[in-house]
Structure 1
């Protein structure tokens, strides 16, 4: 049995209560990099969650961090209305998503902000975050990434919270592990490496899995990433190498047009289309582990 609790927007729950987990997605997201594509409609978010529940979804982990319109105050009611558990995030994305004055205002207290949102709650919402989201760059870690990852590591050591990492086009995972798990002493099992399906480098994927970190294969159905046809082969290779227990799946819906209720694939696609294809490649038992057992372990914390 998995120990600890998963911190959802409705309170801490036993890991076994999560059901099928979309381990990386967004109900709300606003960024100057995506003008006109904001995820900020509460009614559409409710409909998307209901559509996900209708195909068997039990939990959604929202990776939207501080300053990007995560609408934390809306999340408990959405979870109650749809029966889908929601895990919220603290943390900070790449600098390009923020106004310079916002970054400057957090220069001295970033780790304290993360800890506060994990333990006391996100301002004006009462919702406590259940993970820390940070981001690297394309094949590199710039000063902003190192700053946010140091703050994330400090917050992890204070709370035990997992750290989820955006990798630009799936690159830079080993540099992230060197920093977080080497220099900053975060246990690899507390790190979730996002988007690794976007860089079909099986050697890097194997090395990352060997470290003990979780590999999130997320954002399927995106034409510019060509991930769907690569994903089964990569996951089979990792499973055959003994790393089936390191794998997670997510939808990573980041624009309004990508929602299923707006004509896109959305959250249901993960279970409606991706899951059957993976069952054919990996078998039902392994896919059940990836969707249910692994996320229960990845997001469970003995909260400090």
Structure 2
């Protein structure tokens, strides 16, 4: 039977509820000095604010080595009443030092499988997805290595693979590798950040493969794509791909949290949801926030 692997155990997809399909409760990278998401109190407040807006589930895409604080996730989920899904996987090479990467050579898929089936470190918290990343309009050797390991772990466990697309680019290259060369079923792949590259043709081609398409996070400075996102969602819905769409807030810095004065997780339901209801209707937006993530992240675990 298909189930979503949360930090408190496996749950049926119908129990997930209104879901932020891509976000971070904890995250730290040398690329974002001083903006780490490390505070348990701030994570608790963010979940409470999300819950107040009607949120019921958060899928955390923070992968290996970037400050997941896995042991803190179960009590946060229990206290807030919000389902939380943790991730294994590996981000782009620039987020790690050479010693960390060297220590994973030859055993990356093994690490992914262990964190999906046994647990993350000593926490015992099992990951519910595999997160990897592409490059800007292409795939370097690191991306190919991590995606090969992710595919191996998928074949061993059934887990969904989520992909950070750099500025929303490289979607078709990712699908060629994961679903073509490596044999991952497209419906087990989630492409992230498609809102950052509003290429409707590429969106349509990616959707035709059968993968899920995530529109996650407000525009960054000088990347003014927010106003185009509803049109992209409507174009996909009109083409019959409404069941492949996901939404997320992707909070990656302390300043971006709602408790820090930024949009944070509540922005997804407070501002993005009504904007999309205006574009595509309440029924579709409701399904995108509930039924779609339920299917995207529920797998028959092996």
When normalised by structure 2's length, the TM-score is 0.99
> Which residue matches 1:175?
173
In the other structure, the counterpart of 1:229 is 227
Query: CA 1:221–1:141 in structure 2 vs 1: closer, same or farther (change >3 Å)?
Result: closer
Q: How does 1:276-291 map to 2 (within 5 A)?
A: 276-291=274-289
Q: CA RMSD in A?
A: 0.7
Secondary structure of 1:164's aligned partner:
strand
Give the C-alpha shift of residue 221 in structure 1: 4.5
Structure-to-structure mapping, 1:61-72, within 5 angstroms:
61-72=59-70
Matched, 1:255 2:253: yes
Question: Equivalent residue for 2:51?
Answer: 53
Aligned with 1:188 (options 164, 170, 186): 186
Q: Displacement, 1:227?
A: 2.8
SS class of match (2:223): coil
1:61-210 alignment, distance < 5 Å:
61-210=59-208
Unaligned runs of 5+ in 1: none
Length-normalised TM-score, structure 1:
0.98
Of the candidates 26, 40, 43, which is equivalent to residue 42 of structure 1? Answer: 40
Q: Aligned pairs, how many?
A: 302
Residue in structure 2 matched with residue 215 of structure 1 by the alignment: 213
CA distance in 1, matches of 2:50, 2:222: 24
Q: CA deviation at 1:149?
A: 0.1
Q: Is the contact made by 2:21 and 2:247 (CA closer than 8 Å) also made in structure 1?
A: yes
Work out whether residues 196 and 219 of structure 2, in 8 Å CA contact, stay in contact via their aligned partners in 1. Answer: no
4+ runs of 1 displaced by more than 2 Å? 221-225
